[in-house]
């Protein structure tokens, strides 16, 4: 048996030598787009098609393109073809498709509609690619060797419009990702023009919202969208477009959010129907065909289609969120940028491309002028030039002899030597020399343009205006204000009726209807447990449970099943996911979050907190820092308005109006001293005056705080104590 040898190595070294190169390769060479709007796989595919003559040429089999692309892209043919599919007009994944297609390429809005094999489909470059490759042969971008060093490929494609924002782009790298939404081509070009003219331009005036190839309705919250434009991060909602066929009782969904598929929507609706949560719908089916996407929903008689669609938007992917993460490679480094910064980077890069193109044209014209100036010199003595060539015995000596005879350089001499014999006449040479004056003007113009940033920007603007005119577009996604959207209220479906709530000391909770309570007999508790608090409310109300760890847990009463007096009820620490050794010590019904919560502590302090301090816009279930932890809590009293409460110690009582205490907005406020306690004393009970059985309240009532209270008379002693110990 052979021995196995291995070398121990620190994990940090393994990560650095093995994992980091892979991670950087995924980030830089695969997953994230660059400023031209393409990932490497897109760029290699499109450049291959360009070199194959498919820009304006005839259609060719996709398999042919895939095979040729493998010369630049070392990945398998399946990955290359999948990349091509997304770029095609047939797949409808892009606002501006780059590949004209023939055959079945599937649909971006369908999960199950498979695209045909590459041997069956045909492709060529779309017309818009003229704006991508127009400068490719003018040294506008750098070229590098392909993976085997036998071919050259562009580092970037010199797109004449901000493609990085025009088409949606999703990429998942290592420890980072990008998710760029698309924008309308004409709106994007207009915005680029305005920002070049005025960097402080209001972007939303020309680029009001994103746009998607699948259409839908974008719910516009201006502040939210401005934040996305500024930071490159955030999310917005997109919902489906539908219409109602009144005679047939059918709702037709014709556009859906870009982030979902028709199958996902139908699956979710089917799930709700089976669960009995969508009784308004009798059938749902996919009727997508040659006319495009269509989801048909048969609804029952008497069902309001508006309310049903509000419900479906809430419970299915018919309304979905698009999370933006504008993470782009700039100079090989990933950067999350806002829309204004992306436009600025694109403009700077495009300015460089145009500058390089102008410099290329300038070099060509300077070279041509140089050759013609050499030709001009032989015009003085054409016979001499002919004699030099005729009298030179060796072919290799022709150029040197011309250089010596006319004082010209090798390049000029080579040009003269290559002139056809029939063209060595004065008339032909004079015609060629007529070009020199025009060339000199062109060279001067190009040199002036290179020196002037504004002139280069004027060229960019002119090209953008030409794109707007040549490729007119209209928005596919309609923009609606968030104020126009009616949100479905789930509570409308929930039956509302009176309930009695019971909380035990060990954390068991019961919700019992009045009828069941009357017929149920005595309340059942675990051995050693007892009733802690009882409240009356309705099934749709919200309840807040306060725990011994100064936390609050919010829940809807309808989330608890109706119970009976004869059962223990729900164990709240388990149902609400409380921490170990955490138990509820009080409960309250916020009832619209009006009024105040009165927190009574054993040290005699009272904290009056506005109930709205516990209201949250999100559906958070747990609130930390629910009340002060400086002293054990004795009682919590919810009061819609100020009123009198009674505090009890072992021997004294104090009655005061809560208006004497100022309300706080900070939940953890310690509160104000109400009862001046003697050593060894503590507050053991608190309740509203109407619940206390006091014969002579005026004996204990005070008008200022803190106060010592009065000794409790026997007739006013507690018949029952409500303690949270």
Query: Which residues are CB-contacts of 702 (< 8 A; sequence separation ≥ 6)?
Result: 654, 655, 656, 709
**Contacts for 372 with CB less than 8 Å, ≥ 6 apart:** 432, 433, 435, 436, 439
700 an active-site residue? no
Runs of H (alpha helix) within 121-279:
130-133, 163-166, 185-197, 203-206, 222-231, 262-274
**In contact, 565 and 517? CB cutoff 8 Å:** yes
Give the 3-state secondary structure of residue 298: strand
Alpha-carbon dihedral angle through residues 490, 542, 519, 533, given to the nearest 10 degrees? 170
Residue 467: CB atoms within 10 A of its CB come to 21
Secondary structure, 3-state, 568-633: CCEEHHHHCCCCCCCCEEEEECCCCCCCEEEEEECCCEEEEEEHHHHCCCCCCCEECCCCCCCCCE
Structure-block tokens of residue 685: 């009970």
Q: Are 629 and 550 in contact (CB under 8 A)?
A: yes
The pairing of strands 177-180 and 169-172 is antiparallel
Catalytic one among 6, 50, 81, 120? 120
- Distances 574 to 140, 368, 557, 568 between C-alpha atoms, Å: 66, 86, 16, 14
Angle (nearest 5°) at CA 339 between 110 and 326: 50
Q: How far apart are CA 496 and CA 382, in angstroms?
A: 109
Specify the length of the chain in residues: 725
The tally of CA atoms less than 13 A away on the side-chain side of residue 125 is 22
Give the DSSP H/E element, type plus range, for residue 12: helix 11-14
**Distance between CA 611 and CA 639 in Å, rounded?**
9
Indicate the helix (H) or strand (E) that contains 152. strand 152-154
CA-based nearest residue to 235, from 321, 168, 332: 321
Which active-site residues does the annotation give? 120
């Amino acid at each position: 048996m052979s021995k196995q040898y291995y070398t121990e190595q620190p994990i940090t070294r393994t990560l650095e030598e093995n994992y980091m190169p892979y991670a950087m390769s995924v980030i830089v060479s695969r997953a994230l787009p660059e400023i031209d709007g393409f990932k490497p796989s897109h760029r290699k595919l499109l450049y291959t098609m360009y070199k194959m003559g498919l820009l304006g040429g005839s259609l060719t089999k996709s398999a042919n393109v895939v095979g040729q692309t493998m010369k630049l892209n070392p990945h398998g043919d399946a990955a290359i073809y999948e990349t091509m599919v997304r770029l095609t007009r047939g797949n409808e994944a892009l606002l501006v498709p780059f590949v004209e297609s023939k055959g079945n390429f599937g649909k971006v809005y369908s999960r199950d509609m498979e695209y045909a094999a590459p041997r069956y489909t045909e492709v060529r470059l779309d017309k818009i690619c003229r704006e991508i490759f127009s400068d490719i042969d003018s040294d506008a971008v750098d070229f590098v060797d392909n993976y085997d060093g036998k071919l050259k490929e562009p580092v970037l494609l010199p797109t004449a419009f901000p493609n990085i924002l025009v088409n949606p782009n999703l990429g998942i790298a290592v420890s980072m990702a990008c998710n760029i939404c698309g924008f309308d081509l004409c709106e994007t070009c207009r915005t680029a023009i305005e920002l070049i003219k005025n960097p402080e331009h209001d972007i939303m005036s020309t680029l009001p919202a994103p746009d998607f190839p699948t259409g839908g309705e974008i719910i516009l919250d201006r502040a939210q969208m401005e934040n996305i434009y500024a930071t490159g991060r955030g999310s917005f909602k997109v919902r489906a477009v539908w219409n109602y066929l009144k005679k047939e009782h059918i709702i037709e969904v014709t556009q859906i959010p870009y982030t979902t598929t028709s199958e996902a929507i139908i699956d979710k609706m089917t799930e709700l129907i089976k669960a009995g949560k969508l009784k308004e719908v009798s059938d749902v089916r996919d009727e997508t065909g040659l006319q495009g996407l269509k989801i048909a929903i048969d609804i029952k008689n008497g069902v309001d289609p508006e309310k049903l669609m509000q419900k479906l938007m809430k419970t299915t992917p018919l309304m979905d969120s698009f999370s933006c993460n504008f993470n782009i490679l700039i100079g090989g480094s990933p950067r999350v940028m806002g829309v204004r910064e992306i436009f600025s980077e694109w403009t700077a890069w495009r300015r460089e491309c145009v500058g390089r193109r102008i410099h290329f044209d300038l070099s060509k014209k300077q070279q041509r002028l140089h050759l013609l100036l050499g030709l001009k010199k032989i015009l003085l003595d054409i016979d001499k030039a002919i004699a030099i060539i005729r009298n030179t015995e060796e072919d290799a000596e022709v150029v040197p002899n011309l250089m010596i005879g006319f004082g010209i350089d090798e390049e000029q001499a080579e040009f003269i030597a290559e002139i056809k014999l029939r063209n060595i006449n004065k008339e032909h040479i004079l015609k060629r020399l007529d070009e020199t004056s025009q060339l000199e003007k062109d060279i001067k113009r190009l040199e002036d343009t290179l020196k002037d940033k504004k002139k280069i920007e004027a060229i960019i603007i002119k090209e953008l205006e030409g794109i707007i005119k040549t490729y007119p577009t209209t928005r596919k996604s309609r923009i609606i204000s968030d104020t126009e959207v009616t949100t479905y209220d789930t509570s409308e479906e929930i039956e509302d009726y009176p309930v009695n709530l019971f909380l035990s000391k060990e954390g068991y909770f019961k919700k019992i209807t009045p009828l069941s309570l009357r017929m149920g007999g005595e309340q059942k508790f675990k051995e050693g447990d007892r009733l802690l608090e009882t409240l009356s409310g309705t099934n749709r109300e919200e309840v807040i449970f306060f725990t011994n760890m100064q936390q609050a847990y919010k829940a809807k009463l309808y989330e608890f099943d109706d119970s009976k007096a004869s059962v223990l009820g729900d164990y709240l620490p388990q149902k609400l996911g409380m921490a170990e050794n955490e138990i509820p010590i009080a409960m309250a019904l916020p009832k619209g979050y009006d009024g105040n919560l009165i927190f009574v502590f054993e040290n005699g302090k009272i904290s009056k907190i506005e109930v709205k301090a516990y209201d949250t816009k999100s559906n958070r279930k747990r609130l930390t820092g629910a009340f002060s932890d400086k002293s054990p809590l004795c009682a919590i009293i919810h009061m819609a308005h100020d009123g009198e409460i009674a505090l009890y110690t072992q021997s004294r009582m104090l009655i005061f109006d809560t208006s004497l205490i100022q309300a706080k907005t900070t939940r953890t406020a310690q509160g104000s001293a109400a009862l001046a306690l003697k050593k060894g004393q503590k507050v053991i009970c608190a309740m509203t005056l109407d619940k206390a059985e006091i014969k002579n309240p005026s004996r204990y009532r005070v008008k200022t705080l803190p106060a010592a209270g009065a000794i409790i008379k026997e007739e006013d002693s507690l018949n029952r104590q409500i303690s949270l110990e």
